[in-house]
Chains A and B, each alone.
Chain A
Amino acid sequence: GAVVSQHPSWVICKSGTSVKIECRSLDFQATTMFWYRQFPKQSLMLMATSNEGSKATYEQGVEKDKFLINHASLTLSTLTVTSAHPEDSSFYICSASRSGKTYEQYFGPGTRLTVT
């Protein structure tokens, strides 16, 4: 149990376009979802935290207008990278947690974004 999926697993887009990444909890209700970013050979950095039905909380230095997060249901959160630039190329990983156990996060397989 506690499976999280992401779609797509990899995406290539042109500079200036927008791309949406989906994160789904397949067999549990995720009251909280998290989005992380990982640069090559580096650690994961928390970008934002989202709770179902409310606005996401962004970490310092993360542009909320560029990285739009929507947590529309208890099983789906989306990250939209708007007006993408090559420096947005990265590995984006989501995680989800259940109610009452937000410290225990289940990670998706990640999405590799390449902006050309």
Chain B
Amino acid sequence: AQSVTQLGSHVSVSEGALVLLRCNYSSSVPPYLFWYVQYPNQGLQLLLKYTSAATLVKGINGFEAEFKKSETSFHLTKPSAHMSDAAEYFCAVSGGGADGLTFGKGTHLIIQP
């Protein structure tokens, strides 16, 4: 069984500042981890994924995440926030096989001008 905890339902940063969205996971098997972004009334767009290769994963739009097994974390970062980054972000975990994804509750990212 897997679970995901996203700390902070809302995160507010100034434009140009560092973005840090936190995700901790629990998994009984080596996990596959994902970050998705969702804009209002739209589906999910994959930002990046960890699939047991490099622990530092680079994604689209300047985002990256680091898998830390000892901390069971997969935090999402971006060095400099842009107004277009304002959206809902979901961390998700899969145990592989034919499992569906287990999502965290999401973090709403607010960018202040």
Flag if B90 contacts A102 (CB, 8 Å): no
Q: Tell which of B37-45, B54-62, B69-77 binds the partner.
A: B37-45
CB < 8 Å neighbour of A32 from B42, B51, B98: B98
Q: Complex Cα distance A95/B100, Å? A: 9
Q: Does B22 sit within 8 A of A, measured CB to CB?
A: no
What is the bound-complex CA distance between A45 and B102, given in angstroms?
7
- A67 interfacial contact with B, CB 8 Å: no
- Output the nearest chain A residue to B88 by Cβ-Cβ distance: A41
Which residues of chain B in 61-96 are interfacial with respect to chain A, using CB atoms and an 8 Å cutoff?
90, 94-96
Interface secondary structure of B, over-half rule: loop
Whether, in the assembled complex, A93 has its beta carbon less than 8 Å from a beta carbon of chain B, the answer is yes
Q: Which of B99, B102, B103, B106 contacts A102 (CB 8 A)?
A: B99
Known A109-B42, A110-B43; contact A43-B98, beta-carbon cutoff 8 A = no
B32: min CB distance to chain A, Å: 4
Given A36-B100, A102-B99, A105-B101, CB of A43 within 8 Å of CB of B44: no
How many Å from the CB of A101 to the closest CB on chain B? 9
A to B CB contacts below 8 Å, 7 in the list: A43-B90, A44-B90, A44-B103, A59-B100, A95-B100, A104-B51, A110-B42
What residues of chain B have their CB less than 8 Å away from a CB belonging to chain A? 32, 36, 41-46, 49, 51, 90, 94-106
Q: Across the A-B interface, give the 8 residue pairs with the lowest CB-CB distance, nearest first.
A: A46-B100, A109-B43, A107-B44, A103-B32, A103-B94, A43-B103, A110-B43, A34-B100
